[in-house]
């Protein structure tokens, strides 16, 4: 067996850093299907997993990949898959199953431009609303957006932590640039990483109710083969896990599925602030666009524009409170993203009546240059 945590300084791509982050978090199962620009995550997992006691399998498509990830998670393994737009679309059905059955797993989307086959080799951030609402029905989901290979490493660990803690799929919405970008990545000592694990059931096995929430709103999770004899279904179910076909049961289940996220927002939501203290124009951005935005803040400041950046590390659930609080005191908000307005709609919603919100968007295929952001900031001030 080789070490799962490759402590040291590396020069690696975001995709590889993501795979290393997963291994460091304790991921021991990966099912995937090749797709540009996420293939390297699978390739790296194929090399590394057997050496750390894990299993890699290339499935027949992304639907099957997602199915296998859930099966493995229910059998006790921390599991992950990685894909891009078309594969992400195919995974939506089983992401819904993961939400409904409260099965932890991590799904990485290294975004490329769509719709359809789009621009397979070029970056975009056009799947952000799909991340939020792509599976049918109403639900909450956790989504993180890394903006460097180093963050690909750390946020993959965070994704597993949140997924295990809250028994829910966690999406990592990266993009082609971050996925393929090689940068310095520092991997800490193994004992400096303390991965969280799903809550385990206690007490009598015959009385265990697999969907009865614990104190933090999350039910302990029994895994297959432990002797709990649980039933898990994608149908609307009660605390015993039994299907109940009534509006009341539906309401109770949705209250549980959304409530466990709502009541733990403090632990889930992460944002980063840059020069926000005295800013009167705030850029809201995430992923690769946050890098352009960071450069734009400094350049704008040199031009005398008091700009700042709110970087969304957690994109979903949307950091509403933080955006609202900023909107109360600034002159305007500018969302920077490689799509024609998705997270912008959320910013607009939260800023409504408080401050104007503008979009610096792009249809996809290129990173937004800082100059375009500065131009918008100038027009604002």
Partner 1 sequence: MNKTKERNEHPLDELLRTDRIPHIWCPGCGIGTAFSASLVAMKTSAIDLQKTVMVSGIGCSGRGAGYIKLDSYHTTHGRAIPFATGMKLANPELNVVVFSGDGDLFAIGGNHFIHAARRNIDLTVVCVNNFNYGMTGGQAAATTPCNARTTTTPRGNPETPFNLPFMAFAAGASYVARWTILHTRDLTKSVEEALLRRGFSFIEVLAPCPTSYGRRNKQKPLDTLKAYQERTVIKHACHPAEVQLDFERGITLGKFFDLERPTFLDMYDRTCRPQERIEKSEAV
Element (H, E) at 80: strand 78-83
For the stretch 105-133, what's the b/e string if a residue is b when 16 or more beta carbons lie within 10 angstroms of its beta carbon? bbbbbbbbbbeeebbeebbbbbbbebbbe
Complex with partner 1: residue 75 or 255, whichever CB lies closer: 75
Residue with structure tokens 């632990």? 267
Q: In the bound complex, what is the minimum distance in angstroms from residue 246's beta carbon to partner 1?
A: 15
Complex with partner 1: residue 86 or 259, whichever CB lies closer: 86
Does the protein bind partner 1 through residue 6 (CB under 8 A)?
Answer: no
**CA atoms of 372 and 381, how far apart (whole Å):** 15
Instruction: Show the site string, 36-55: x = touches partner 1 by CB under 8 A, - = not.
Output: --------------xx---x
| 269 backbone dihedrals φ, ψ, rounded to 5° | -85, 125
Does the protein bind partner 1 through residue 74 (CB under 8 A)?
Answer: yes
Does the protein bind partner 1 through residue 285 (CB under 8 A)?
Answer: no
Q: In the bound complex, what is the minimum distance in angstroms from residue 21's beta carbon to partner 1?
A: 20
Element (H, E) at 107: strand 105-113
**CA atoms of 367 and 281, how far apart (whole Å):** 21
Q: In the bound complex, what is the minimum distance in angstroms from residue 54's beta carbon to partner 1?
A: 9
- Taking CB under 8 A as the criterion, the residue among 117, 121, 216, 233 binding partner 1 is 233
Does the protein bind partner 1 through residue 231 (CB under 8 A)?
Answer: yes
Interacting positions 142-181 with partner 1 (CB under 8 A): none
Does the protein bind partner 1 through residue 227 (CB under 8 A)?
Answer: yes
Does the protein bind partner 1 through residue 376 (CB under 8 A)?
Answer: no
Complex with partner 1: residue 57 or 252, whichever CB lies closer: 57
Neighbours of 197 (CB within 10 A): 14
Stretch that binds partner 1, among 33-41, 61-69, 343-351, 364-372 (CB under 8 A): 61-69
Does the protein bind partner 1 through residue 207 (CB under 8 A)?
Answer: no
Map 265-304 to HEC letters: HHHHCCEEEECCCCCCEEEEECHHHHHHHHHHHHHHHHCC
For the stretch 212-245, what's the b/e string if a residue is b when 16 or more beta carbons lie within 10 angstroms of its beta carbon? ebeeebbbbbbeeeeebebebeeebbbeebeeee
Q: How do strand 8-13 and strand 105-113 relate by DSSP bridges? A: unpaired
| Tokens representing residue 325 in the block | 């609080």
Does the protein bind partner 1 through residue 71 (CB under 8 A)?
Answer: yes
Does the protein bind partner 1 through residue 59 (CB under 8 A)?
Answer: yes
| Tokens representing residue 123 in the block | 């970056």
Stretch that binds partner 1, among 4-12, 94-102, 107-115, 257-265 (CB under 8 A): 94-102
Residues lying near partner 1 in the complex (CB under 8 A): 1, 28-29, 31, 50-51, 55-57, 59-61, 63-77, 79, 93-94, 96-97, 101, 222, 224-235, 242-243
């Amino acid at each position: 067996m080789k070490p799962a945590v490759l402590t040291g300084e590396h020069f690696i791509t975001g995709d590889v850093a993501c795979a290393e982050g997963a291994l460091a978090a304790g991921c021991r199962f990966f099912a995937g299907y090749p797709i540009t620009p996420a293939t390297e995550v699978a390739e790296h997992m194929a090399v590394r997993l057997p050496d750390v006691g894990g299993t890699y399998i290339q499935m027949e498509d992304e639907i099957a990949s997602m199915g296998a990830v859930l099966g493995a998670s229910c059998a006790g393994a921390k599991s992950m898959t990685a894909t891009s737009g078309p594969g992400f679309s195919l995974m939506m059905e089983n992401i819904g199953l993961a939400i409904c059955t409260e099965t932890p797993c991590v799904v990485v989307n290294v975004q490329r431009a769509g719709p359809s086959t789009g621009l397979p080799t070029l970056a975009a951030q056009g799947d952000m609303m799909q991340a939020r609402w792509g599976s049918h029905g109403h639900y909450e989901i956790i989504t993180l957006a890394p903006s460097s290979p180093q963050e690909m490493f750390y946020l993959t660990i965070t994704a597993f932590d949140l997924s295990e803690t809250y028994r829910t799929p966690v999406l990592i919405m990266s993009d082609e640039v971050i996925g393929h970008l090689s940068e310095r990545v520092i991997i800490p000592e193994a004992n400096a990483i303390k991965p969280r694990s799903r809550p385990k059931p206690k007490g009598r096995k015959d009385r265990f109710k697999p969907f009865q929430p614990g104190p933090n709103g999350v039910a302990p999770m029994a895994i297959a083969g432990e002797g709990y004899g649980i039933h898990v279904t994608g149908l609307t179910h009660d605390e015993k896990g039994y299907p109940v076909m009534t509006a009341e049961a539906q309401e109770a289940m949705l209250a549980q599925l959304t409530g466990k996220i709502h009541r733990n927002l403090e632990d889930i939501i992460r944002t980063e602030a840059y020069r926000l203290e005295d800013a009167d124009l705030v850029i809201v951005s995430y992923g690769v666009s946050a890098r352009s935005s960071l450069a734009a803040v400094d350049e704008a400041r040199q031009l005398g524009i008091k700009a700042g950046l709110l970087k969304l590390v957690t994109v979903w659930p949307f950091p509403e409170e933080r955006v609202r609080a900023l909107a109360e005191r600034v002159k305007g908000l500018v969302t920077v993203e490689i799509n024609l307005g998705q997270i912008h709609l959320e910013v607009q919603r939260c800023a409504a009546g408080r401050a104007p919100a503008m979009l610096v968007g792009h249809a996809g295929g290129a990173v937004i240059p800082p100059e375009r952001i500065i131009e918008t900031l100038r027009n604002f001030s």
